[in-house]
Structure 1
Amino acid sequence: MKLSERGQGLLKWFIYAVIIISAVLLTISIGSEFIMDYYWFKSIGYLNVFMINLKYQLILLFGGWAIATLCLLLAWRETKKSVGDQLPTIGGKLYTIFSVLIGFGVGWWFKGKYMILLKFLNQSAWGVVDPIFGHDVSFYVFTLPMIKVLLTFVAAVSALVLVFSLIPYGIAKARFESEKTELEFGEYSIWDTFRFLRSPVVIGPIIVLTIAGAISVWLGRYSYLWAFDPGGQVPVGASHMAVHYHIPYTWIKALGVLLLGGLVAYSFSH
């Protein structure tokens, strides 16, 4: 069902109103928290600590926001080639708005990891080496958490690109099928599903998710060092079973993830 120009206009202004109200409420909430933290740190003489925290929070917020939003907008530019004019004009505007909002959400999550970044940047060796992997124990406290955060960020952005490419295409194709319209894109029909599945917005995220998943599985071998103290910050040792069976076979599980992702990507591209 196509929206009339009046309907699209009303929907557009309704969405703008919701966004503006949400932005105002969010600004009030963030602003009040910022002011309280500022005066609290100032009152105890640690204003410089507050400024350092704020600096890295803003770096992560705007960095994550920009990267996520840019990836989503680039994905939309590619997806538009496959949906023709089957989405109303407001569809592109909505996608742009949601891309910015979702990107902000990703950046906001990323901002919350600033302490992990600060620990990573200011780490120092502890002089104690674990006997299983040969890493300084500081690696597990400072470096490993940072690697996991980056992997999560990359995987989340890739998953969002994949999902928000499939959804518009699915909606547009369903609309096309309901209207029984003949559309051509060059010498190929733009509704060649397999052609769309071979596009960068589908294959790219699948490859990235596969690699990130394999690395995550491989890093999982370090989790066995917390066998006797789950949830602790410092590893205390691994069990006999973990050392001789679970840890060595982590490579096989990681290769299995790569193989599975490779098969999916190959099936889409051929």
Structure 2
Amino acid sequence: MSTSTAPDPRRPQRSGNSSGFGNVFIPTLIVLAVLLFAITIFANVWTEVKWFDQLDAVRVFWTQWGWAIALGVLGTLLVGLVVYLNLRLARPKGDIEDSSSGTARYRQQVEQHRWLVRLVVPLVVGLIFGAPLAGEWRTYVMWLYRTSFGEVDPEFGHDVSFYVFSLPVLQSLLSLATTLIVLALIAAIAMHYLYGGISQDNGKLTLTRRARIHFGVLGVLASVVVAGFFWLSRYNMLLADNDKFSGASFTDINASLPGRTVLAIVALLVGILFVLAAVKGLWKLAGTGIAVGLVTML
């Protein structure tokens, strides 16, 4: 005599392929989104190509796109490389055995997914902050094919072409350097905190020698970049557009110009203080130098 158990009609039956549907739906949605994006990009590019072709200027189109792609790739790789190097430099050599700190669990996750931290994170950050360099392709191409104007400005003695071609490139490079330093600092702080380079001892912030040198070098680079901004701002005064006239005013030449020169020198001196902070740990001295720089700016 055999007995069979019939399913209880009051109990909801689980569909056998529900999980399979979920596993297929999300990848399919992603693939469709990527295809839609690719088709949209292709349609726009093809339209541009046909328009330039009607003008017999297809070479101009490919020159623009070639430079944009090249600069975008270069910016992505440069930002990704800087983030990767700072993540690696912030990690101490050897195995980390300390499991008593509050960051041990997060550090363990980082160690278990090294490829994610060392490859994916720098690449994503590079795409976000480095790829936009492609939008400045015109600035770099104009500088590459720059020509002399045969006229010099009466204040600095530079050819006028310097303000048209070279100055925008220098400003772009300083902006990129600022982005690199900020991202490097964020990566360094995160990794040093995870691996014990930054800690608190009785409410006092302490740094290991590795972290001290790392932050000191970043401070020196930041000081150089700030000095560069102050120095280039001297040339920007000649391009000012005032209400009644264009160019530098009497106050700009006799007060602002010397002041910005002094600020550039002060920024370099602060960089020297960061060297002392990295070697001797004299962070109060570096902080005092920054305060003096701010007072000088005022």
Deviation at 1:194, TM superposition (A): 3.3
Query: Residue 92 of structure 1 is aligned with which of 98, 114, 130?
Result: 114
Aligned to 1:71: 82
Question: Which structure has the higher relative contact order (CA within 8 Å, separation 6+)?
Answer: 1
Pair 160,219 (structure 1): closer, same or farther in 2 beyond 3 Å: same
Cα-to-partner distance string for 1:189-230 (whole Å, 9 max, x where unaligned) = xx9623242243x33322222111101111111121123359
1:101/1:241 CA distance change after superposition, 3 Å: same
Q: Tell me if structure 1 keeps the 8 A contact 2:219–2:271.
A: yes
For the residues of structure 2 that align with 1:26 and 1:207, how far apart are their CA atoms?
A: 43
Counterpart of 1:184? none
Give secondary structure in 2 for the equivalent of 1:128: coil
1:207 and 2:207 matched: no
Opposite residue 73 of structure 2, the aligned amino acid is: F
The one-letter amino acid paired with 2:168 is P
Secondary structure at the aligned position of 2:92 is classed as helix
- Root-mean-square deviation (CA, aligned residues, Å) is 3.2
Q: Which amino acid aligns with 1:238?
A: A
Partner of 2:149 in structure 1? 126
Residues 197, 269 of structure 1: 8 Å contact kept: no
Question: 1:261 offset after TM fit, Å?
Answer: 3.4
Residue in 1 that maps onto 2:233:
220
**Structure 2 unaligned spans of 5+:** 1-22, 98-103, 281-298
Percent of aligned pairs with the same amino acid: 25
What's the counterpart of residue 104 of structure 1?
Answer: 127
Residue of structure 2 equivalent to 1:113: 136
TM-score (norm 2): 0.68
CA contact (8 A) 1:155 1:208 kept: no
Are 1:242 and 2:258 counterparts?
no
Q: Secondary structure at the match of 1:247?
A: helix
List aligned pairs for 1:17-32, cutoff 5 A. Answer: 24=34, 27=38, 30-32=41-43
Secondary structure, in 3 states, of the residue corresponding to 2:130? Answer: helix
* Letter in structure 2 aligned against 1:137: V
Contact kept in structure 1, 2:220 and 2:274, CA below 8 Å: no
Q: SS of the residue aligned with 2:191?
A: helix
With 108-117 and 88-97 compared, the bigger mean Cα shift is at 88-97
Number of the residue aligned with 1:262: 272
Structure-2 separation of matches of 1:75 and 1:142: 33
SS in 2 for 1:126: coil
- Matched residues in 2 for 1:21 and 1:253: separation? 53
Runs of 5+ consecutive residues of structure 1 not aligned to the other structure: 1-12, 178-190
